[in-house]
C-alpha cells in the first residue's frame, strides 16, 4: 500500500475515512477553499508523483458543486504527475438522462463521462449506476460495483421468513432477480408510469406477495413517491409487511412528508452519499449500512491488479 494514496473531496469525507480504515492507511490531506467570488481553490497536500491515486467524491446534492470539485481534483492529480488517477464516484449524478427519449434533450450521463475523462481520470469506480449502459459511455476502464452483497447481507440477518423481492419498476427486474437469489425468495414487479420529474403512478403488480415479507429494491430513493406508492399496493395485495432497500438515499424534495405516512417497516440504504438534514422522526425510519469496506476491498484489488468481479460471486 506504500504506492497508494486516497484523497477525498468535501462531498463525503466520512466514507473516505471508512475506506482508509479498511485498508489500514490514512487519507491524504486535501486543501479545498474558495476565492471571494466562489471559485474553488484546490491543493493536494502530499507528493503523489508516480503514485496510484484514488479520489473519493460522490456527485450528490449539491450536484453541480460536488461535480465541479471532483473535476478540479482530477485535474490537480493529473498535473501532479500521479501514475494513475481513479475517480471513485459511489453515486454518479446526472445519470437519469442516459438516452434521448424525446427530441431536444441532453444525454447528461454521457456528458459527465466525457468531463471526467477530460479532467484526468484514468479509471472510474462507481456503485449501482442508474442504468448499466452508462458503463459503456467511458472509453477508460470502469468498474461498476453492485451493493447487493451489502444490502442482501443486512436483510438476511433479519430472518424475514418467506420473502418476495419487489422491483420498483420494469427496468429494475435484473436487480430484483439478483436480490431474490441472495435472499432465497421470489420476485415481483410494480409497474409505474412517470407523470413528471417528481410524480409517478403505480399501474400494476406482477407477481405473488400474499403472506410474504416484501422487500422493495431500487437503485436510489429521491422524493420517495415510487416506493411509498408501491408499499401501499403491496399491502393491499396481502403482503405481511414491507421493507424498502436502495443503494443511494438521496432523500430530497417531499421525501420527509411521504415517508412519515409510509407503512413500510424501515428504509435501508447504504452510505454512498451522506444522509441529508432530516427531522429526527424521519431519521428514525432510516437504517444505513456501510459500503466502506466493500469499496475498500475493490480499491485494494484494483491497486493490486486483481479481479474485482469476483467480489460478487
Q: What is the DSSP letter of 278?
A: -
Rounded to an integer, what distance in angstroms lies between the CA atom of residue 249 and that of residue 265?
Answer: 16
First CA to last CA across the chain, in angstroms?
25
User: Does residue 192 have an active-site annotation?
Assistant: yes
Q: Which residue's C-alpha cell is 435501508?
A: 268
Catalytic residue among 18, 51, 110, 192: 192
Burial of 277 (0-12, 13-18, 19+ CB in 10 A): exposed
Q: How many helices (H) and strands (E) does the chain have?
A: 9, 14
Rounded to an integer, what distance in angstroms lies between the CA atom of residue 221 and that of residue 249?
Answer: 5
Burial of 159 (0-12, 13-18, 19+ CB in 10 A): exposed
Q: What is the DSSP letter of 80?
A: T
Active site residues per annotation: 192
Amino acid at each position: 500500500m506504500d504506492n497508494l494514496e486516497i484523497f477525498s473531496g468535501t462531498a463525503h469525507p466520512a466514507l473516505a475515512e471508512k475506506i482508509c480504515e479498511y485498508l489500514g492507511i490514512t487519507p491524504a490531506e486535501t486543501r479545498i477553499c474558495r476565492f471571494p467570488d466562489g471559485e474553488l481553490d484546490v491543493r493536494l497536500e502530499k507528493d503523489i508523483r508516480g503514485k496510484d491515486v484514488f479520489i473519493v467524491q460522490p456527485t450528490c446534492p449539491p450536484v453541480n458543486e460536488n461535480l465541479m470539485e471532483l473535476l478540479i481534483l482530477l485535474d490537480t492529480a493529473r498535473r501532479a504527475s500521479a501514475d494513475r488517477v481513479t475517480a471513485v464516484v459511489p453515486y454518479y449524478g446526472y445519470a437519469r438522462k442516459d438516452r434521448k427519449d424525446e427530441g431536444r434533450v441532453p444525454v447528461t450521463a454521457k456528458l459527465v463521462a466525457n468531463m471526467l475523462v477530460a479532467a484526468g481520470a484514468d479509471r472510474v469506480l462507481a456503485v449501482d449506476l442508474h442504468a448499466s449502459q452508462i458503463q459503456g459511455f467511458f472509453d477508460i476502464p470502469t468498474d461498476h460495483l453492485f451493493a447487493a452483497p451489502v444490502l442482501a447481507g443486512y436483510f438476511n440477518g433479519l430472518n424475514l421468513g418467506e420473502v418476495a423481492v419487489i422491483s420498483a419498476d420494469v427496468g429494475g427486474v435484473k436487480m430484483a432477480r439478483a436480490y431474490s437469489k441472495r435472499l432465497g425468495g421470489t420476485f415481483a414487479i410494480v409497474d409505474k408510469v412517470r407523470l413528471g420529474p417528481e410524480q409517478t403512478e403505480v399501474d400494476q403488480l406482477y407477481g405473488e406477495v400474499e403472506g410474504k415479507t416484501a422487500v422493495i429494491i431500487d437503485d436510489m430513493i429521491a422524493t420517495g413517491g415510487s416506493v411509498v406508492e408501491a408499499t401501499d399496493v403491496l399491502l393491499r395485495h396481502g403482503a405481511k409487511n414491507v421493507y424498502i432497500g436502495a443503494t443511494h438515499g438521496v432523500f430530497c424534495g417531499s421525501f420527509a412528508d411521504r415517508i412519515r405516512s409510509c407503512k413500510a417497516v424501515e428504509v435501508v440504504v447504504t452510505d454512498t452519499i451522506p444522509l441529508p438534514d432530516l427531522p429526527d422522526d424521519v431519521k428514525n425510519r432510516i437504517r444505513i449500512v456501510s459500503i466502506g469496506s466493500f469499496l475498500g476491498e475493490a480499491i485494494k484489488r484494483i491497486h493490486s491488479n486483481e479481479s474485482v468481479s469476483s467480489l460478487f460471486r
